[in-house]
Structure 1
Amino acid sequence: MKKNTIIYSLLVFLVIMNMFFLYNYMFKPTNINERRQQNNKDFIVSELGFSEEQKAEFRKKSISHHEAMRRLNDEIKILKDELFDKLSDDIVNDSVIDSITSLIGEKEKSKEQEVFRHFKMIQELSNDKQKEKFKMIIMDALRRNDRGANRIPPPLREENNRIRPPRN
């Protein structure tokens, strides 16, 4: 009888956990990336103090930007999948690898151009005061990105700023 109680308790626990995960999966309409994009939009709109007309124009023009970015990200993912599928090949043709990585580079270039055009659109929507505020936001974001990206931790640098190998 005691074994059955343990099994039933475990079964109830698993059913409750499944209901919890199912609820979170079914009733949360946006994923993390969509929420992050919405937060970014809301941040720009609120920080720049857009009027209702500016907000409407911003939302209208942002739709094509997000579609273009999603399309480019999907294309990059497909190319990267194709590239890393080559890992299992016995013979790897360098020209194929070079071709795929060149295509990835072109897509990344297109993404950067799309981001620039989007920011240019925001700037064109803005009045002079908002343009100054937008410039400050962009510069702050670039500085913040420079501090975090591709940075080697201080212990790995020597006094003359050369990189030393990490200790074992």
Structure 2
Amino acid sequence: MDGPIDALRKKHHYGRYNIVRGLISGKGKKLLDIGCGAPASCMRDGSFLRSLGYGEGIDIVPRKIEFPFKMGSITDIPYPDRRFEVVTAIEVMEHIDNPLDAFREIHRVLKDEGMYVMSTPNNNRFFLTFWWFWEKSFGQEWHHTHLTTYTKRQWLEMIHKTGLFRIRKVVNYWGGINTIYQLEKI
């Protein structure tokens, strides 16, 4: 049985999944979830795809999920051009050191006017304070894994400068600790 910390972790992740599901509703079922592994030790691989009920997944390590899976990276997606109507990367972009390469690769595999939904920590003072306490206590599994630490404003500037996506919607989650971005391929 889950303790209170695991219950809080699950509530946080499934709450974010609900927002992402709402942003992609009405879209086709040709969906790729990048980083489809377990978001926390108390959850299973493929948790987002399972909550959605469809899609394909990639991750940099082998995963056992009930959906089509390939090993691959967000900067080297093992699919042909214009394959997906929707690509999601939930809490993935902060774990890479070259987000511009990731944006280009996602743009490549999206169909014309396809949608990319990503969520990232918003590295403001509130998040950084929360994260410091979290890493020192219950979140040790993620210690030193955030390679790209941007604020919401910095992410928005980067997205705009790429010229690859149109920003459709931006949602703050958990008081601004995380931000969810709905982007459309240009």
Which of the pair is proportionally richer in strand?
A: 2
When normalised by structure 2's length, the TM-score is: 0.21
When normalised by structure 1's length, the TM-score is: 0.23
Which of the pair is proportionally richer in helix?
A: 1
Q: Which has the larger radius of gyration?
A: 1
